[in-house]
Amino acid sequence: MPLISPKSAPETRRSDHTDTYHGEIIADPYRWLEDANSAETKAFVDAQNELTRTVLDALPEREQLRSRLTELWDYARRGGVWQEGGKYFQMRNSGLQSQFVLYVMDSPADEGRILLDPNSFSDDGTVSLGELAISQDASLLAYSLSQGGSDWRDWRVRDIVSGHDLPDTVGDSKFSGAGWLPDGNSFLYGRYDRPPEGQQLSSANLNQRLYRHRIGSEQAEDELILERPDQPEWGFGGMVSEDGHYLIVNVWKGTARQNLIWVRPLEERGPFTEVVADFEASYQVIGNDGPVFYFLTDDAAPMGRLISHHLETGERREIVAESQHRLLEVLMVEGGFVLHTLADASSRLSVVDRQGQNAQPVTLPGLGTVGSLSGHTDQSEVFLVFTSFLSPAASYQLNTENGELTVLWSPDLSADLSGYEVRQEFAESQDGTKVPMFIVSQSNVVLDGSNPALLYGYGGFDISLTPSFEVSRLAWLEAGGVLAVANLRGGGEYGESWHQAGMKANKQNVFDDFTACARHLAQRGYTSPQHLGIEGGSNGGLLVGATLTQHPELIGAAVGHVGVMDMLRFQNFTIGWAWVSDYGSSDNAEDFAVLRAYSPLHNLMQRAYPPTLLTTGDHDDRVVPAHSYKFAAELQHVQQGGAPILLRVQTRAGHGAGKPTKLVIEEKADVYAFLLGALR
């Protein structure tokens, strides 16, 4: 790799700004980079992108990788089928389309017709679909749009028969789906007060309200269903029970898994019945038989269990008890339930009756992941997709009577995957915890420590990393690379206890688990420190930053995407306050001590760091780009070695969702060229 000395990095102004946290003075010399709209910040971004392009464009394999990634990506893909009102729906991409297209069909395997093509909304493909909701009679579609990757959404309504949009426009929505009412003439949605122009990345998102929009009316006329100005951090998700009799409100607070459930008869305007009145556990509504509601919960069951609750009597019964495997998902169908569990981070399916008895296992195609599980409480028709590291997502129909899967559609991939294999191994963390890790490589991989390897992780917010196919990773494998995906504490692979073991005061466990996986790969001969790269995004970007600062000697290169790097100020921007449930807050003295100890920005020192590539989007209103800006500037300032520290800022891009295919390919080409150049 062409090495760029630290002196070649742009000169970035350092101020004398400081803050005092619980008696400790903390320098913040790049505080000015938090102003994304200033001319100085924009000049900083331009200079960083110029340096990054100088390095990456000079890499000999970069163009070859871009070309190969384009070839690999060019295959038809389809999401899961779902049914509503006798019609079937599916998202599809012919190969290189910027965005997936929504189809409507008359049968599950029908070729159907295009209902909504977001590729027609912008020339550069940066307008993407957010959420979708079909009315119960399948006459209307409510859909939300995102501009440039923003979390802000604008809702539109389309007539499904004619394919034309109605005049309705509903804006200022964020972190909300749409819940149609049985009349098919109105839907529920959540919205915030939109920040003033220029303050989208600096204002906190608080005081969400739940509204009802009636088709054909102006948004100003929408009915306010629920607000709690005394609880500005509460958010509200509104839905109607499938039988059309009850309004159900899920009350959430940040990213905490604990939530409230409120229910009342649909057309009443009186108080809600507080089925779950305290933020003590996670409750997910599965369905109802009249006044008997079913919930998937981790209340008194960290691995999850299924219970019933009678609205009128308050009686609760356990339907499916907690087991040794994480109960991840439950689908209520005619006569019973479909149970989706995780066993060592891979999917298992079974069908039980309404009493939770007579379990019938479903034979899946292999070690992989079930996704897009869909069906209705009064029907036996169930749809899903299945994917693994070496098999692209295929869509299936499940017969709940005999447990058989029928393939509805499978992709035709031109690449030959027969020469690769997947293993699952367990690393031992610092405290003795066994940490699972999937390892994908060529079948004849030589364990002599010379292979370039990429270790990917996340470790937070109860999110599980299960086997899934990402076509871009084939380019890495074809180049002789080894891929490792770690299932760290903080995730949800082993239930709520596993999650809590990697949050707040326990966050260091996540970084220890990741370094244990790095050491395991070297000890087993898959790679060695100089050939090992690490990668992660968002909370996984924090993981990369913390690992880089704590153990740079264990890695040969680092790639961090849209990372949370400033752990003392994250709560001050957009939705950052919502992460306090997982991280704690520097406003609290005890939390501050923990955060200060691992915050990537605040633990850099004068030393040699390995080659590092940081990526972000200038419109990221979830993890604001200032995290990456400040970390990159400080890392360039303290770098004592000759390895490049690069910042790649994508314009008209947000946190990642909805990014057009061409831009994704360009970024992947940069990442893999950077890693191969650094690790070989």
**Helix (H) / strand (E) containing 251:** strand 246-253
- CA neighbor of 619 nearest in space, from 17, 207, 252, 128: 128
Cβ pair 118, 126 in contact under 8 A: no
Locus of tokens 């998102």: 205
Indicate the SS3 state at residue 620.
Answer: coil
Cα–Cα distance measured from residue 181 to residue 516, given in angstroms and rounded to the nearest whole number: 51
DSSP state of 10: P
Cα–Cα distance measured from residue 201 to residue 36, given in angstroms and rounded to the nearest whole number: 8
**Helix (H) / strand (E) containing 634:** helix 626-638
Looking at the DSSP bridge assignments, the partners of residue 435 are: 427
Cβ pair 215, 166 in contact under 8 A: yes
- CA neighbor of 295 nearest in space, from 335, 263, 323, 264: 263
Q: Which two tokens stand for residue 52?
A: 């990054």
Can you list the pairs that 254-258 forms with residues at least 24 positions away whose Cβ atoms lie under 8 Å? 254/577, 254/578, 254/579, 254/580, 254/581, 255/461, 255/578, 255/579, 255/581, 255/582, 256/581, 256/582, 257/281, 257/282, 257/298, 257/462, 257/496, 257/499, 258/282
Indicate the SS3 state at residue 246.
Answer: strand
Phi-psi region of 42 (alpha: psi -120 to 50; beta: other; left: phi over 0): alpha
Locus of tokens 């692979």: 493
Indicate the SS3 state at residue 558.
Answer: strand
- CA neighbor of 376 nearest in space, from 78, 90, 88: 88
Catalytic residues: 538, 620, 655
- CA neighbor of 568 nearest in space, from 551, 552, 550, 588: 588
Indicate the SS3 state at residue 267.
Answer: coil
Locus of tokens 């017709």: 113
Cα–Cα distance measured from residue 680 to residue 677, given in angstroms and rounded to the nearest whole number: 6
Provide the terminal-to-terminal Cα distance of the chain, rounded to the nearest Å: 9
**Helix (H) / strand (E) containing 144:** strand 140-147
Angle between helices 589-598 and 508-523 (to 10 degrees): 20
Q: Which two tokens stand for residue 588?
A: 């609290």
Cα–Cα distance measured from residue 606 to residue 408, given in angstroms and rounded to the nearest whole number: 57
Total length of the chain: 680
**Helix (H) / strand (E) containing 546:** helix 539-550
Q: How far is CA 534 from CA 473, 529, 541, in A?
A: 14, 10, 10
Residue 104: partners with Cβ closer than 8 Å, 6 or more residues away = 87, 88, 89, 112, 113, 115, 160
Looking at the DSSP bridge assignments, the partners of residue 405 are: 398
Q: Which amino acid is at 99?
A: Q
Indicate the SS3 state at residue 51.
Answer: helix
For the chain, what is the radius of gyration of the CA atoms? 25
Give the count of beta carbons closer than 10 Å to the beta carbon of residue 183. 13
